[in-house]
Amino acid sequence: MKFARLTILTAILITLIGVSESKSQKILDKPWIKENTPTRRVVPYTHVREADVMWHKRIWREIDLREKMNHPLYYPISPINDRKSLFDVIKDAVIEEKTLKAYDPIDDEFTVPLTASEATARMGDSLTIMMEDEFGDPTIPKITYNEKGSQDIVKYRLKEDWFFDRERSIMDVRIIGICPFSTAIAEDGSVKGIKPVFWIYFPEARYVFANYDVFNRQNDAERRTFEDIFWKRMFNSYIYKESNVYDRNIIDYTESTPIELLFEADRI
């Protein structure tokens, strides 16, 4: 009798365990299990001695997300399957996972770190809407918050160092920081321009970017990561500033026509 009860109890436990495992098991969306990108490691930078740097120039450049070559950084607008836009990756790392530190865009020197709540506030616009009172007059102000999404990001600004290393006899580049720019909304709800969201220290962001896929137009099996995109310079951009004695942008000393600005950027 005791053996029969034990057998029935064991069968019930096995059934319950099997049901719980089947509910928690995820559907395999591919014929294979994805293993490479989630465990991808970052290729470390080559050590550079100050004595080996024969030439150095600091450059600021911008990545316009309207250009077709830069669309892999902009899309998808909403996360799909295992893909996110670059802004969603940065936002989740700063706000939810807290694996990245955001810095105030008051300057690009990473001097003022932001908390998660402060970074969230930087990703939106506060709008004041006049609400109607009991007599129907718009006299009661109400502040609403418009949170930014991937669709609101228009460009990224990069801060990078170009230098010649005589030890390796190569011209090398290191990205120092990256800053997304979003549309700025006026009080009446219209777009009044663009504004920087926050700066991210790029050497730290590499460890996050290396674990997220970027769409490959030619081959779905060969998915690059955001780290690959920046490491291999697979984006189109233009220079808007170089280090100079006056700390001026190109637009400050060049004719303001777009073609003249591009000519000066190409010259640099």
The per-residue pLDDT for range 19-63, each reduced to its tens digit, is 444 444 567 666 656 666 777 789 899 999 999 999 999 999 999
The answer to whether the beta carbons of residues 87 and 193 sit under 8 Å apart is no
Tell whether 39 is covered by a domain: no
Is 193 a domain residue?
yes
77 part of a folded domain: yes
Whether 146 maps to a domain, the answer reads: no
Asked, for residue 58, whether it belongs to a domain, the answer is: yes
Burial of 92 (0-12, 13-18, 19+ CB in 10 A): middle
Tally the domains of the chain. 1
pTM: 0.80
81 falls within a domain: yes
d(CA 260, CA 60): 17
Q: What percent of the chain has pLDDT over 90?
A: 51
pLDDT at 109: 93
Distance CA 10, CA 20 (A): 16
pLDDT in tens, 154-188: 999 999 999 999 999 999 999 999 999 998 877 66
How high does pLDDT run on average in the chain? Answer: 83
In a domain, 134, yes or no: no
101 in a structural domain: yes
The predicted structure's pLDDT at residue 20? 45
Pairing status of strand 238-242 against strand 213-214: unpaired
pLDDT 10s digits, 193-245: 899 999 999 999 999 999 999 988 888 877 789 999 999 999 999 998 999 89
Q: Which domain holds residue 111?
A: 47-120+151-236
